[in-house]
């Protein structure tokens, strides 16, 4: 029966709600000023914003004892994806196309690893969790977790991070495995996205490198003449 430290301090929850309230205001203003509002409402950025903001603002209790805690935790990890989308859209990642593509691939890899680790840990824990017992005084600071399988251990983020990295580099030690169909689905989606997106962006990087090499050869020939 794993026991704390699983309590999230109230100041963090208050700060999280403040950040989400600011994001909600920004979302409303953006939707108001858009010329094509319907197109924005069904866009990837808009849908992700709603998924990120709504669970935090609509749930009064953000502690692990809340029955909506899984959705709250998932929305926090998806906020990382939303931040990366906004940064890639409005921020220059380098001076040249070559530099921008390298930074873009790096951000994609970090995003896949972090979001997949967070989703995997939360899904695995929520599906295996049977009950939460509080201390005798009713305190939420050290909840006792009761899992369906007595041999299951509470999966921390660093455990899920280890699993994701080992899976992506195809080592697969087997010491951590998905224990339910939802965990398997997250793992499958992570692998599919990786084998589609990363080679595609790597091919684009190689194309930019070849173009840069041809330009430099032409520039060298012109200087030599």
pLDDT tens digits along 137-189 = 445 555 566 666 666 667 788 888 999 999 888 877 778 888 888 888 989 99
Confidence of residue 121 (pLDDT cuts 50, 70, 90): confident
Residue with tokens 């921020």: 91
Packing angle of the helix pair 181-224, 157-168 (nearest 10 deg): 60
> For residue 112, which of 46, 197, 206 has the smallest C-alpha distance?
197
pLDDT of 18 strictly over 50: yes
The rounded Cα 38 to chain-centroid distance in angstroms is 26
Give the contacts of 187 (CB within 8 A, at least 6 positions apart): 116, 120, 167, 178
Kindly list the structural domains of the chain, giving each domain's residue range(s) and its CATH number in brackets, ordered by start: 1-91 (no CATH), 93-225 (1.10.287.70)
Pick left, alpha or beta for residue 153 (phi over 0 → left; psi -120 to 50 → alpha; otherwise beta). beta
pLDDT of 103 strictly over 70: yes
Q: Which range has highest mean pLDDT (64-73, 111-120, 129-138)?
A: 111-120
**pTM for the predicted model, two decimal places:** 0.70
CB 52 within 8 A of CB 24: no
CB 132 within 8 A of CB 1: no
pLDDT for the residue 65:
59
Give the mean model confidence (pLDDT) for residues 60-64: 65
């Amino acid at each position: 029966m794993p026991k704390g430290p699983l309590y999230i301090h109230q100041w963090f929850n208050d700060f999280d709600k403040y950040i989400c309230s600011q994001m909600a205001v920004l979302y409303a203003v953006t939707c108001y000023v858009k010329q094509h509002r319907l197109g924005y409402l069904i866009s990837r950025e808009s849908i992700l914003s709603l998924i990120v903001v709504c669970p935090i603002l609509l749930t009064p209790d953000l502690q692990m004892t809340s029955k909506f805690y899984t959705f709250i935790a998932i929305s926090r990890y998806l906020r990382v994806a939303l931040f990366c989308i906004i940064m890639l859209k409005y921020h220059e990642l380098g001076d040249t196309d070559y530099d921008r593509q390298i930074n873009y691939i790096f951000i994609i890899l970090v995003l896949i690893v972090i979001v997949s680790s967070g989703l995997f840990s939360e899904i695995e824990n929520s599906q295996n969790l049977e009950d939460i017992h509080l201390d005798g005084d009713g305190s939420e600071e050290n909840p006792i977790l009761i899992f369906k399988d007595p041999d299951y251990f509470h999966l921390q983020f660093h455990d899920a991070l280890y699993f994701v990295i080992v899976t992506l580099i195809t080592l697969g030690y087997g010491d951590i495995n998905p224990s339910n169909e939802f965990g398997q689905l997250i793992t499958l989606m992570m692998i599919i996205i990786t084998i589609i997106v990363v080679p595609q962006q790597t091919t684009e990087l190689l194309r930019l490198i070849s173009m840069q090499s041809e330009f430099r050869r032409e520039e060298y020939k012109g200087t030599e003449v």
